[in-house]
Every structure is written in structure tokens, then in C-alpha cells.
């Protein structure tokens, strides 16, 4: 059965829907598109994911191929997809083979942005 107004079936026994704001430190800094004098060292990205069990760490690491997750600046919370803002709900898809039902774009940062926890 689908959730009302979402292309997402209700979770099976043992499955959790989680909302992740992941912070990634890139393996190699990249030139900034906006400012050629600054290098991009990482990014934030949001995911909506259906996982088995409450420990998504290894699963999330498998989603990130261009760097390492900075866990102290990453948040993982159980979520009811119906509780998301209308704009986000409109972007929810059926889970892909990895269980991802939402992917945001990247929000890049440089070392000068001071966005990382100390």
C-alpha cells in the first residue's frame, strides 16, 4: 500500500525511513565555480532513505564515493515522509535499489566558510 500522496510504500517490518543531512569532506579539493580563488573542500547533502535497522553508518558510506563522511557534522533522524514540507514531498520517489527516495543537490563549502564543528 502506498502512503497517501507519495510514491512510497509503507515500510515493512524492520525498515525505517530516515532523513540524513550528510557532511562530506572531498577526497580532493575542487576549484569553486563561484570564486576561482577558493577551493571547495566539501559539501552538505540531504537524503531520504529506507533502511533495515537503526544503524545507517555503513549504508551511508556506500552512497558517498567522492570523499569521507564527517560524522560530527552529519545528522540522521527517523522521519515520516508525510511530515516533510510540501515542496520536499513533491520530490519523493519510489526507493531506488539502494533504498534512497530523496536526494537533494550539493551545498558546497570551502575551508574559509567555517561550517565544520571543532
The one-digit pLDDT tens for each residue of the chain (118 residues) are 445 567 888 888 888 999 999 999 999 998 888 777 788 999 999 999 998 876 778 889 999 999 999 999 999 999 999 999 999 999 999 999 999 999 999 999 998 887 777 6
The number of distinct structural domains making up the chain is 1
Residue 59 inside a domain? The answer is yes
Residue 102 inside a domain? The answer is yes
Model pLDDT, residue 1:
41
Residue 44 inside a domain? The answer is yes
Model pLDDT, residue 3:
57
Residue 20 inside a domain? The answer is yes
Model pLDDT, residue 5:
65
Assign 106 to helix, strand or coil.
Answer: coil
CA pair distance 43, 74, nearest whole angstrom: 11
In this structure, what C-alpha cell is assigned to residue 112?
Answer: 574559509
Buried b or exposed e, range 6-42, using 16+ CB within 10 angstroms: bebeebeeeebbbbbebbbbeeeeeeeeeeeebebbb
Which residue segment(s) compose the domain that 79 sits in? 15-110
**Torsion angles phi and psi, residue 50, rounded to 5:** -100, 120
Amino acid at each position: 500500500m502506498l502512503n497517501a500522496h507519495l510514491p512510497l510504500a509503507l515500510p515493512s517490518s524492520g525498515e525505517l525511513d530516515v532523513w540524513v543531512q550528510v557532511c562530506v569532506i572531498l577526497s580532493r579539493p575542487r576549484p569553486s565555480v563561484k570564486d576561482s580563488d577558493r577551493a571547495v573542500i566539501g559539501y552538505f547533502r540531504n537524503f531520504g532513505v529506507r533502511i533495515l535497522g537503526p544503524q545507517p553508518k555503513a549504508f551511508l558510506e556506500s552512497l558517498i564515493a567522492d570523499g569521507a563522511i564527517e560524522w560530527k557534522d552529519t545528522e540522521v533522524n527517523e522521519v515520516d515522509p508525510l511530515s516533510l514540507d510540501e515542496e520536499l514531498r513533491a520530490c519523493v520517489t519510489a526507493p531506488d535499489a539502494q533504498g534512497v527516495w530523496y536526494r537533494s543537490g550539493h551545498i558546497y563549502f570551502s575551508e574559509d566558510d567555517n561550517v565544520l564543528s571543532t
